[in-house]
Amino acid sequence: MECMRVCHSIPDGVGVALETPAGLVVHAGDFKFDPTPVDGKLTDYHKFAELGDRGVLVLLSDSTNAMRPGFTPSERTVGQALEEVFRTVRRRIIVACFASHIHRIQQILEVAARMGRKVAIHGKSMIANTRIAADLGHLRIPPDVLVRLDDLRHLSPAETVIIATGSQGEPLSAIARMSAGEHKQIEITPGDTVIFSARVIPGNEQAIARTINQLFRRGAEVITEEFAPVHVSGHPCQEELKLMLNLTRPKFFVPIHGEYRHRHHHARLATAVGIDPAHICLAENGDILEFTPEKRDIVGKVTGGRVFVDGKGVGDVGDAILRERQHLARDGMVVVVVGLHHQTRAIVVGPEIVSRGFVHLQDQEAFFNAANHLVKELLAGCPEEERGDASILKEKIKVALRKFVHKAFDRRPMILPIVTDVWGAEP
């Protein structure tokens, strides 16, 4: 196995080359061709070209920005944009970015030092990553620029910068708690400027919009990449993807990363630079690929996707349980408890009706009375052979109550009938 240095949003990014009996397989990793990286370490053009000269059987390459023309801007352009913002802002600045983006943190620290501001790092992952990166030499902290969060109250807002987690609107992140007015140490005040130095990850749009709206309500000014170049991607755009294909010149090509539409457009780029369309494999998550010097094929599939961690259980919560939880969260539940005499099958206990998350307090008494009467009538009308089978009675109660609730409230709560035998009691 060989590793090739690549530029990305994190330090020490690498691609991997594997020598196999069938041929050379290259995984380019998360990369971009940044001509002026913050740490001065360029993507290893020469090594990728050398692999191409040796003959690459399969290339797996990042498709995240396959729909974006041109080249991804250098990370250094973000530092220039941040400096412009810092020059014009007269009060406190809060920057939200990924805790793993050490190069972005580096530039914020440097700009703050040049502007005479002190910086507080906030968020567990942000603090941990900053400390580790500094220990490893990936982060060069300017002298006397870092302060503790508690020290900010002794400084003028015009002298301070906070680097915090929460660029994706995570509910428990520092930025989200500030926007909701629930942060114990930091209160957003009119005149504060919050910079979201990150791209919106698909699926997080609503959470981010909610956080930004709340920040505006508290009087803050919010800057995103829509209004200033305060973020650039760590992934290659179309011209860089073509360059990687031309450097490695693979016989077979597998676009990876991104959604199917991104991989589809990446396949088009590969065709444009001369890759045989029959040698391009648009695989799905879990597909097992097999390559020989002459052909490629999808030979099987393994389970892939997200693994749900719930308490001490890992992956033991299936789709059925998740659907039940969604049902409970959306519609609530109604529990019906009935005790029947073990011999006569007459009602001895209940019916007792309990609801959670379903009906308002002012409606409870009328609903409980009506449901109680419905269950009593249902049990009284059941044939004798059915009254001895608890499973039949449960199903009848569930069906009857479901119809009643839907007609009365136009809702579909989860209904859980409990039918028990009572011994020794007189009906």
pLDDT digits (tens, 9 = 90+) for 293-337: 988 888 888 877 777 777 777 766 777 777 877 877 777 888 888
pLDDT of residue 361: 55
Q: What integer best gives the mean pLDDT of the chain?
A: 87
**Taking the model in full, what pTM does it have?**
0.72
pLDDT of residue 233: 92
Average pLDDT over residues 216-238: 91
Average pLDDT over residues 9-22: 92
Indicate the residue among 197, 223, 249 that finishes a domain: 223
pLDDT over threshold 90, residue 113: yes
**Ranges 216-225, 242-251, 357-366: which has the least confidence:** 357-366
- Is residue 80 domain-shared with residue 219, that is, in the same domain? yes
pLDDT of residue 427: 47
- Identify the band that residue 363 occupies on the pLDDT scale cut at 50, 70 and 90: low
pLDDT of residue 276: 93
Q: Is 394 part of any domain?
A: yes
SS3 call for 92: coil
Average pLDDT over residues 230-245: 94
Q: Is 219 exposed, middle or buried (0-12, 13-18, 19+ CB in 10 A)?
A: exposed
pLDDT over threshold 80, residue 277: yes
CATH of the domain at 21: 3.60.15.10
> Helix 102-114 to helix 76-88 angle, to the nearest 10 degrees?
40
**Ranges 53-57, 63-67, 405-409: which has the least confidence:** 405-409
pLDDT over threshold 70, residue 424: no
**Ranges 152-166, 213-227, 280-294, 333-347: which has the least confidence:** 333-347
Residue 25 Cα distances to 56, 57, 105, 292, angstroms: 6, 6, 34, 11
Contact 50, 11 (CB under 8 A): no
Distance CA 404, CA 426 (A): 31
Q: Is 345 part of any domain?
A: yes
- Is residue 202 domain-shared with residue 290, that is, in the same domain? no
Mean pLDDT: which of 179-183, 351-355, 388-392 is highest?
Answer: 179-183
Would you please indicate which residues are annotated as catalytic (active-site) residues? 62, 235
- Identify the band that residue 368 occupies on the pLDDT scale cut at 50, 70 and 90: confident
Q: Is 170 exposed, middle or buried (0-12, 13-18, 19+ CB in 10 A)?
A: middle
Domain that holds residue 297: 2-71+234-301
Average pLDDT over residues 103-107: 94
**DSSP state, residue 73:** P
Q: Is 120 part of any domain?
A: yes
- Is residue 248 domain-shared with residue 207, that is, in the same domain? no
Q: Is 269 part of any domain?
A: yes
Q: What does 386-426 look like in DSSP terms, one character per residue?
A: HHT-HHHHHHHHHHHHHHHHHHHHS---EEEEEEEEE-S--
pLDDT in tens, 117-176: 999 999 888 999 999 999 999 999 999 999 998 888 889 888 999 999 888 888 888 888
- Is residue 348 domain-shared with residue 292, that is, in the same domain? no
CATH of the domain at 136: 3.40.50.10710
- Is residue 324 domain-shared with residue 292, that is, in the same domain? no
**Bigger pLDDT: 338 or 71?**
71
- Is residue 187 domain-shared with residue 322, that is, in the same domain? no
Contact 150, 185 (CB under 8 A): yes
pLDDT over threshold 60, residue 426: no
Dihedrals phi, psi of 162, to nearest 5 degrees: -120, 125
Number of domains in the chain: 3
Residue closest to 347 by CA, chosen among 422, 424, 401: 422
pLDDT in tens, 80-99: 999 999 999 989 999 999 99
Average pLDDT over residues 263-283: 94
pLDDT over threshold 50, residue 289: yes
CATH of the domain at 388: 3.10.20.580
Distance CA 296, CA 268 (A): 18
